[in-house]
Structure 1
């Protein structure tokens, strides 16, 4: 298997607690968050690795839409975290400021993602794959470090203040409910389903999301995602979460040039 034909690099995926800790009590929120974070990382990897592989105006237009959707999804996730999850956990546990590190990390990469978002609205004629990758390099490590560290932080909070994980699970589910309710099924959910990898970590999280009816991937594939069919060429998986080779993979850069 060629290096970088899959979206599991160059940015490293987050080990899920269900894989590293097995059936340990209290890990629900951290594990669910890890799955979501890996979806965002795979999306970013798919963008980074295909940025220089698009050439025609049609390909570039669809690719930039794919980039815009990635920004929408991750911005929405962080906004609802700040609005619902973080304050809810702090209040319920009586530990004001316990989520402050996450807020500070959000601020650290905020401007970099905003510059990326602005560039993703450029016209195909002004597009440069190298420039897009340079923009990712300015925020990518900060973002991915945060996505890893938040999981460790949730496990630390659980072990110190919420041994059964009840509080974290309750507020994660409230966060998830609002997140899903405000997401576009044909735009955001299509992106999320197509950035899963049901084979990751020996398939330990292959049934995620547990509450989703079996027909949702088919519904997205057959009906809801058709208007953006060209955009979904850049997904790292099909809508069932089966990973696939990136269709617009450019020549892999030297390891020394990859973000660490």
Structure 2
């Protein structure tokens, strides 16, 4: 997108994926780090999309839909980090045989979790008449710096598992088990939102996430309809193609 029409790759920048310089088929740790980098970039696009559009939303129905989008994004991110702390990271540490190997990453969650929870509560419980864009943007300005730093640091931490000797299939097993757990979230919220936060053109093109045939059609025509108003604020269509943020301020 042009500077005249800001897009979801800023103001907090996206993360370079390991696949840009590494072969993800060479080691499970590289594959896992790469998948997580794509997920983290989707989180950053959501954060940027909320921040860039917040001040221009004034009509009651737009505010209702935007608050739902805020709550959905914050709930997804919070669930992701809870899953890491309770299942994913302990599972990786058991496989590689090093206790607290990813402890720094868990500690980093605490640096932004309070602001994330405030944003979640704001999206869930604010009535449209009390909506204040300055509150939303202020919470994001508090949340974003440590959040973005953590998302980048975690990729390096996952890559650092590569040199150790362990059962690579067991490591992938932990990742797939957590993927399945994440997939239990609301089908009318998470698939429509995440597919619209990915960018299949990023870094020259990608196919993240790997989807079964016709999955995007199912999401678009069935799952996304329940909360379709909220998905107007997404930076990409269901097929992952970038589009203009409808409420982003030109020249911003």
TM (norm. structure 2) is: 0.93
3-state DSSP of counterpart to 1:208: coil
Question: 2:221 and 2:116 mapped to 1: Cα distance?
Answer: 32
Partner in structure 2 of residue 67 of structure 1: 70
Aligned-residue offset at 1:22: 3.8
Partner in structure 2 of residue 256 of structure 1: none
Question: 1:28 and 1:170 mapped to 2: Cα distance?
Answer: 12
- Structure 1 runs of 4+ with >3 Å offset: 162-168
Alignment of 1:211-230 (within 5 A): 212-230=211-229
Aligned-residue offset at 1:179: 1.1
Aligned-residue offset at 1:90: 0.9
Unpaired segments of 5 or more residues in structure 2?
A: none
Q: Is the 2:96–2:161 contact (alpha carbons within 8 Å) kept by the matching residues of 1? A: no
Equivalences, count: 248
Asked if 1:53 is matched to 2:56, the reply is yes
Question: 2:67 and 2:47 mapped to 1: Cα distance?
Answer: 13
What is the aligned counterpart of 2:33 among 26, 30, 40?
A: 30
Aligned-residue offset at 1:208: 2.0
Q: Structure 2 vs 1, CA of residues 244 and 31 (structure 1 numbering), >3 Å: closer, same or farther?
A: same
Q: Is the 1:198–1:241 contact (alpha carbons within 8 Å) kept by the matching residues of 2? A: yes
Which range moves more in the overlay, 193-202 or 89-98? 89-98
Partner in structure 2 of residue 258 of structure 1: none
What is the aligned counterpart of 2:112 among 105, 109, 112?
A: 109
Unpaired segments of 5 or more residues in structure 1?
A: 254-260
Question: 2:64 and 2:251 mapped to 1: Cα distance?
Answer: 22
Aligned-residue offset at 1:61: 0.7
Partner in structure 1 of residue 197 of structure 2: 195
Aligned-residue offset at 1:14: 1.1
Give the aligned CA root-mean-square deviation in angstroms. 1.7
Asked if 1:209 is matched to 2:209, the reply is yes
Q: Is the 1:25–1:165 contact (alpha carbons within 8 Å) kept by the matching residues of 2? A: no
Q: Is the 2:8–2:45 contact (alpha carbons within 8 Å) kept by the matching residues of 1? A: yes
Question: 1:252 and 1:140 mapped to 2: Cα distance?
Answer: 21
Aligned-residue offset at 1:214: 2.6
Q: Is the 2:24–2:31 contact (alpha carbons within 8 Å) kept by the matching residues of 1? A: no
TM (norm. structure 1) is: 0.90
Question: 1:126 and 1:251 mapped to 2: Cα distance?
Answer: 26
